[in-house]
Chains A and B, each alone.
Chain A
Amino acid sequence: MPLLNIQGVSKYYGDETAVDNLDLEVEEGESLVLLGPSGCGKSTLLRMIAGLEMPDEGKILLDNQDITRLPPHKRPINMMFQSYALFPHLSVRDNIAFGLRREGMASAEIARRVDEAMAMLEIGNYGNRKPHQLSGGQQQRVALARALVKRPRLLLLDEPLGALDKRLRQQTQAELRKLNRQTGIAFVFVTHDNDEAMALADRIAVMQAGRLRQVDHPRRIYDRPVDRFVATLMADANLFESIVVEEAEDMVHARCGELELQFRADGIPRPADSYQLLGLRLEQIEVSRDPLPKGPNTASGTVIDIDYIGDMTTIEVRLSDNQIVKASQLNALHEPLIELDETVWLTWEADALVPLADA
């Protein structure tokens, strides 16, 4: 039984549909990331789970109990806000104790729990400070402590790292993973940053225009995206708008301009002459200066652009039919560098080609 079960939830703002008939399950203790561009409805979904917005349609179940109409203060779900929303008139201690006091807990017990939370997040020395006397990273920890100290069934984090600088962000990612495992509380993140999603998630739910495009493990989302949107959201990819030539045993042959493409059949029937979008990650292409025999999943062309990014080099190759294919390679120390206008040969495996839905 899933911890949280979202069933057919929709939310409308006037004529606009923010969340469109969405189903999603969150498992006990897992770390789920809602990933999508701004305005895709991910924050609205998070706010509906918290109870800060009411769904117009559908149900939300927590531990199999319908909480759709339960007001936020009665839900065992807590949220870490993007702006942290620390109470500026209260000290760090009082901020963290705020939620426990609302439960009417004994003050000795509150003090113990607050101390424990402050120790866990290494903010024990700041108890008497006001939020504005803290750095951004410290504020973030207070916000986290304030939500975690309630020991919620589910912790919601809205762009938790958005306000931090890059170095602090990486460090905090690791800590959030650790807290997730340590506490056993399920975390649901919202972010628009795919690297952050990869680093934080057990599962990623990719959202666009109020719908889920794909929910899967980060590795699967990256390697086997289901459609054009997910493929390009995660990283740069070559997209081949190809026509199926024939399906033979477990391989499908297709053509895109002069390119002959061959990819593994996945049980979906693909009649000859049907359209098929294929994705190919840049790093799956092998680049060679030595001529290769012409055949499926090979190409040759002229290098028209070179981009060095430290450990990687990305090149753009123009084929004789003017198609452009991008490829990237790890920079090995002794290999001579590829130069502009050089002719190169490209090759890749059939498994590297991912059939994508194109809507």
Chain B
Amino acid sequence: MIYRSLALIALPALWTLLFVAIPAALILKISFAEPQLAQPPYTPLFEAGEYGLVLKAHLANYTLIFSDPLYIRALGNSLLYAGIATLCCLALGLAIARAVSCAAPRWQPLLLTLIILPFWTSFLIRVYAWIALLKPEGLINAALMGLGLIDEPLVMINTGFGVVIGMTYTYLPFAILPIYASLIGQSPRLTEAAVDLGASPIAAFWLVTVPLARSGILAAGLMVFIPTVGEFVIPDLLGGSATIMLGQALWSEFFSNRDWTMASALAVILTILLLAPALILQRLELGSRPGMKK
């Protein structure tokens, strides 16, 4: 029995050790090194000294991240755009999930499928589609100018607006599903009771429906926030130089500056940033959700 268990564990355990744990350790190690013109292009963490191995940890990368305006801006932008996109997704997600949960039960599976379907189509294409919409000679500007609403094209691409709209668009389905799940678990009698006691339908929604869906809303927020903080493709295609985010900073350190140590340090910072939200999300997904089905 024990051998069978070991055989079962062996492959996934070794695989994750090799492809997740060791690479993470490598990144951590390299982040404390300094770049050098050699192969590999960074200093070793331990060096042979007079009395055996000497630990040579450099904190230069980390001090630079928290002092150089470029990195501080990247950090700020990451949190700002991910935060705004999360709020947008929650607002839209709440409205759409609510509408789906109020639809006739036989329509709900179809509506949900329609909402998830874009997720199955190429991410890259969906972001690309927004370039054609947002650029100065793009479709939105053409339409607005055609209607005579504006005289000059609006600058939407290469701005924070473009980044946020791209993120909102891409991750909206992630927000709708958990909110829908927590709404559909609520007894319709609860909102009826609120209305019966004198709450207008809008008051009933904010005072009863939303508080009871809070765990679903929190999960939805995290499911948008976590991937958007480290996003690379969206800010790269829809943003500009002023909207640089951490993922882009990492990318350019690695590919343009060939500074593997800085790229690694940025990866460590990004991971730490996501640690708390990821743990909360995990607890939410695993734990039962009180307030539902009651």
Known: A88-B294, A89-B291, A132-B294. A102 touches B198 (CB 8 A): yes
B-contacting 9-mer, from A23-31, A73-81, A190-198, A298-306: A73-81
The residues of B that contact A266 with a CB separation of less than 8 Å are none
Contact residues of A between 20 and 73, Cβ < 8 Å to B: 50-52, 71-73
Q: What secondary structure prevails in chain B residues at the interface with A?
A: helix
Contact residues of A between 206 and 234, Cβ < 8 Å to B: none
The residues of B that contact A81 with a CB separation of less than 8 Å are 189, 192-193
Cβ A88 vs Cβ B197 within 8 A: no
Interface 0/1 of A102-132, CB less than 8 Å to B: 1100000000000000000000000000001
Confirm or deny: A272 has a beta carbon within 8 angstroms of a beta carbon on chain B: no
Cβ-closest chain B residue relative to A99: B197
Contact residues of B between 170 and 195, Cβ < 8 Å to A: 187, 189-190, 192-195
Known: A88-B291, A89-B211, A89-B291. A50 touches B198 (CB 8 A): no
Contact residues of B between 91 and 116, Cβ < 8 Å to A: none
Cβ B211 vs Cβ A98 within 8 A: no
Cβ B199 vs Cβ A73 within 8 A: yes
The residues of B that contact A72 with a CB separation of less than 8 Å are 192, 195-196
Cβ-closest chain A residue relative to B186: A88
Cβ A73 vs Cβ B196 within 8 A: yes
Cβ B212 vs Cβ A85 within 8 A: no
The residues of A that contact B294 with a CB separation of less than 8 Å are 88, 132
The smallest C-beta distance from B217 to any residue of chain A, in angstroms, reads 13
The smallest C-beta distance from B198 to any residue of chain A, in angstroms, reads 4
The residues of A that contact B269 with a CB separation of less than 8 Å are none
Known: A85-B190, A87-B190, A89-B211. A98 touches B199 (CB 8 A): yes
A50 vs B201: C-alpha distance when bound (angstroms)? 14
Confirm or deny: B252 has a beta carbon within 8 angstroms of a beta carbon on chain A: no
The smallest C-beta distance from A126 to any residue of chain B, in angstroms, reads 17
Confirm or deny: A146 has a beta carbon within 8 angstroms of a beta carbon on chain B: yes
A98 vs B200: C-alpha distance when bound (angstroms)? 12
Cβ B194 vs Cβ A87 within 8 A: yes
The residues of A that contact B214 with a CB separation of less than 8 Å are 89
Cβ B198 vs Cβ A73 within 8 A: yes
Cβ A85 vs Cβ B192 within 8 A: yes
Confirm or deny: B208 has a beta carbon within 8 angstroms of a beta carbon on chain A: yes
Confirm or deny: A93 has a beta carbon within 8 angstroms of a beta carbon on chain B: no
The residues of A that contact B189 with a CB separation of less than 8 Å are 81-83, 85
A85 vs B211: C-alpha distance when bound (angstroms)? 15
The residues of B that contact A88 with a CB separation of less than 8 Å are 212, 290-291, 294
A78 vs B197: C-alpha distance when bound (angstroms)? 6
| Contact residue among B187, B195, B197, B290 (Cβ-Cβ distance under 8 Å from A52) | B195
Contact residues of B between 134 and 174, Cβ < 8 Å to A: none
The residues of B that contact A85 with a CB separation of less than 8 Å are 187, 189-190, 192-193
Confirm or deny: A203 has a beta carbon within 8 angstroms of a beta carbon on chain B: no
The residues of B that contact A83 with a CB separation of less than 8 Å are 187, 189
Cβ-closest chain B residue relative to A103: B198
Interface 0/1 of A144-172, CB less than 8 Å to B: 00110010000000000000000000000
Cβ A50 vs Cβ B196 within 8 A: yes
Known: A81-B189, A88-B294, A89-B211. A98 touches B195 (CB 8 A): no
Known: A89-B291, A132-B294. A78 touches B196 (CB 8 A): yes
Cβ B192 vs Cβ A150 within 8 A: no
The residues of A that contact B201 with a CB separation of less than 8 Å are 71, 73
Confirm or deny: B284 has a beta carbon within 8 angstroms of a beta carbon on chain A: no
The residues of A that contact B196 with a CB separation of less than 8 Å are 50-52, 72-73, 77-79, 147
The smallest C-beta distance from B136 to any residue of chain A, in angstroms, reads 48
A72 vs B196: C-alpha distance when bound (angstroms)? 5
Contact residues of A between 271 and 290, Cβ < 8 Å to B: none
Cβ-closest chain B residue relative to A52: B192
A87 vs B194: C-alpha distance when bound (angstroms)? 9
Interface 0/1 of B275-294, CB less than 8 Å to A: 00000000000000011001
The residues of B that contact A50 with a CB separation of less than 8 Å are 196
A282 vs B195: C-alpha distance when bound (angstroms)? 47
Confirm or deny: B54 has a beta carbon within 8 angstroms of a beta carbon on chain A: no
The residues of A that contact B195 with a CB separation of less than 8 Å are 52, 71-73
Known: A79-B193, A89-B211. A99 touches B187 (CB 8 A): no
A112 vs B269: C-alpha distance when bound (angstroms)? 55
Confirm or deny: B64 has a beta carbon within 8 angstroms of a beta carbon on chain A: no
19 extra interface residue pairs, beta carbon distance < 8 Å, beyond A52-B195, A85-B193: A73-B197, A78-B196, A83-B187, A85-B187, A85-B189, A85-B190, A86-B193, A87-B193, A87-B212, A88-B294, A89-B208, A89-B211, A89-B212, A89-B214, A98-B199, A98-B207, A99-B197, A103-B198, A146-B197
Which residues on A are within 8 Å of B, measured CB to CB?
Answer: 50-52, 71-74, 77-79, 81-83, 85-89, 98-99, 102-103, 132, 146-147, 150
A-B contact pairs, 25 of them (CB 8 A): A52-B192, A52-B195, A52-B196, A71-B195, A72-B192, A72-B196, A73-B195, A73-B197, A74-B198, A77-B196, A78-B196, A81-B189, A82-B189, A87-B190, A87-B193, A87-B208, A88-B290, A88-B294, A89-B214, A98-B207, A99-B197, A102-B197, A103-B198, A132-B294, A150-B197
Which 5 pairs from chain A and chain B are nearest by CB?
A: A99-B197, A102-B198, A85-B193, A85-B189, A89-B211
